[in-house]
Amino acid sequence: MDLAGPLRVADLHAARDPVRVVVGERVTARVAAARVFLTKVLGDDRAVYGATTGFGALVGYAGRADLRDQADNTLAHLGAGQGPDLDPHVVRATMLVRVWSLARGSSGVSPHVVDAIAAMLATTFVPAVPRLGSVGASGDLIPLGAAAQALRGRGHAYVDGVRLPAARALDRAGLEPLPLDGRDALAMVNGTSLTTAATALALDAVRRSHRAVLTLTCLLADLLGSDPQFLDARLLAAYGHPGAVAVGAAMRATAEGLTASGTRALQEPYSIRCSPQLLGAAEDALRYVDGVVAADLASVSDNPVFFPDDDAVVHGGNFFGQPAAFAADVLSMVAAQVGNLAERQLDLLVDPHRNGGLPPMLAAGPGQQHGLQGVQLASTALVAELRRDAVPASMQSLPTNLHNQDVVPLGTQAALRALDHARLLRLLVGSLALGLRQAVHVGARTPTAPRCAAVLAALADAIPPIDPDRPLEDDVRRAADVVANFER
């Protein structure tokens, strides 16, 4: 991937593994120009936050005279993170977002910083970054501080999945410790790169599950023999919401050929009848998050920001992660409601009073076997997890840093939690898919819609019937994979 081009969510996925990141002459030239401009500004004795001053609430005090000492000063005090290490994929995606922002040439960093991060991404090296400690206000200071220290050979890092002291990890990966001065160090940490990366990955995962539930809802309606008029284009056009119109069109394409059995009630429960309205509202919400993520991926997230052509160093708040905080909280709400829909559909499917007479829990021999009983219990627990954590993080502002950071977005917590929720939602998708696969084994009709039949065939090819009982945790994950791959 080329740092001169746009940054896409697909690039963040590619960064899970070693990836070639092209810096190029154009990027090097603009980064170098900003660095030369920084030297001029400092020579003119102009104030530059973090280079001539202390940090945060201590901005009113002079910084260290030697900019190399200022780097130590910057990063040492941020060594306060706690908790488990972040997923290495999230960390590598974070470093890609950070280097892309620095490559815009607006941060005043040394060109070798951009080169070093690009070189890191070409290896299996991953900084060990603690999950806890960021309020997402002056950027993701503490997590990015840990990443910067690892690149300097301090702290810990992973190579080939093995956690090592960072100096040994660098050597094993064939990398040199990264020299930083004060401006370099501050530019490494003073941005919302972790929040942006986690929100982008969560968005992609929630979107995949949203599409999967759309498909599985059609399969459920087909297996039950539901009347498909709840998908009528005229009905949804009258509803007027763009997301519902789009979802309805996609569901009609999936359910094309569905023939009602004539044995169901005129109106299905809301978990089927109102699914285009619910999933449509989720689609509208996801489109909002699409816009936030696109803006964040194209953003210069730093302070100060350098404009050499205007002879200006502008101090402000481009490290403030409020947009992603709101967007990540929206993702959590979408995950909770779409997950709730999937769980309610599974509940309908295992209930003999509502599933058209299929055996309870879809057990092949009720009493002697238990079918989906354990999976449904686990699904209930997963929904409870989603609901419990769905309170927005972005409204939990707490003043800190001697009231310098008197409002904070808490976007990092929101983004990482949204990523957690996306993983739970995927398990709920797998649980519903497994139930639909089992329903046909115990007597549900063959799907009448060709695309629904194709989904069911893919599930049946990958997962044997539950007959007799067996542990199903692997089957839930496999079913989620089947549906996700079917939708690509």
- Contacts by 56-62, CB closer than 8 A, 24 or more apart: 56/138, 56/401, 56/402, 56/404, 56/405, 57/401, 57/402, 57/403, 57/404, 59/404
Structure tokens at 457: 């065939």
Cβ pair 341, 212 in contact under 8 A: no
Cβ pair 70, 185 in contact under 8 A: yes
pLDDT of residue 74: 81
- Rounded Cα distance, 305 and 267, in Å: 59
- Rounded Cα distance, 457 and 322, in Å: 44
Q: What string of pLDDT tens digits covers the 488 residues of the chain?
A: 899 999 999 999 999 999 999 999 999 999 999 999 999 998 888 878 777 776 665 666 566 666 666 778 788 888 999 999 999 999 999 999 999 999 999 999 999 999 999 999 999 999 999 999 888 887 899 999 999 999 999 999 999 999 999 999 999 999 999 999 988 999 999 999 999 999 999 999 999 999 999 999 999 999 999 999 999 999 999 999 999 999 999 999 999 999 999 999 999 999 999 999 999 999 999 999 999 999 999 999 998 999 999 999 999 989 889 999 999 999 999 999 999 999 999 999 999 999 999 999 999 999 999 999 999 999 999 999 999 988 888 887 778 766 666 788 789 999 999 999 999 999 999 999 999 999 999 999 999 999 999 999 999 999 999 999 999 999 999 999 999 988 66
Q: How far is CA 449 from CA 136, 354, 432, 442, in A?
A: 48, 21, 19, 20
pLDDT of residue 487: 67
Give the residue carrying structure tokens 């309205």.
277
Structure tokens at 164: 């090592």
Give the residue carrying structure tokens 């200071």.
141
32-46, pLDDT tens digit by residue?
999 999 999 988 888
Q: How far is CA 107 from CA 182, 184, 402, in A?
A: 12, 8, 26
- pTM surpassing 0.85? yes
- Let me know if 49 is a catalytic residue: yes
pLDDT of residue 53: 76
- Rounded Cα distance, 153 and 359, in Å: 61
48-106, pLDDT tens digit by residue?
877 777 666 566 656 666 666 677 878 888 899 999 999 999 999 999 999 999 999 99
pLDDT of residue 18: 98
- Rounded Cα distance, 293 and 285, in Å: 13
- Give the burial class of 271: count Cβ atoms within 10 A of its Cβ; 0-12 exposed, 13-18 middle, 19 or more buried: buried
Residue 316 CB coordination number (10 Å)? 10
49, 239, 270, 288: the catalytic one is 49
φ, ψ for residue 372 (rounded to 5)?
A: -90, 10
Q: ∠ CA 293-295-301 to the nearest 5 degrees?
A: 100
Structure tokens at 53: 């001053």
Pairing of strands 126-127, 156-159: antiparallel
Cβ pair 159, 124 in contact under 8 A: yes
Instruction: Sketch out the chain's domains with CATH numbers.
Output: 9-191 (1.10.275.10), 198-486 (1.20.200.10)
User: Buried (b) or exposed (e) across 239-255, using 16+ Cβ within 10 A?
Assistant: eebebbbbbbebbbebb
- Rounded Cα distance, 110 and 112, in Å: 5
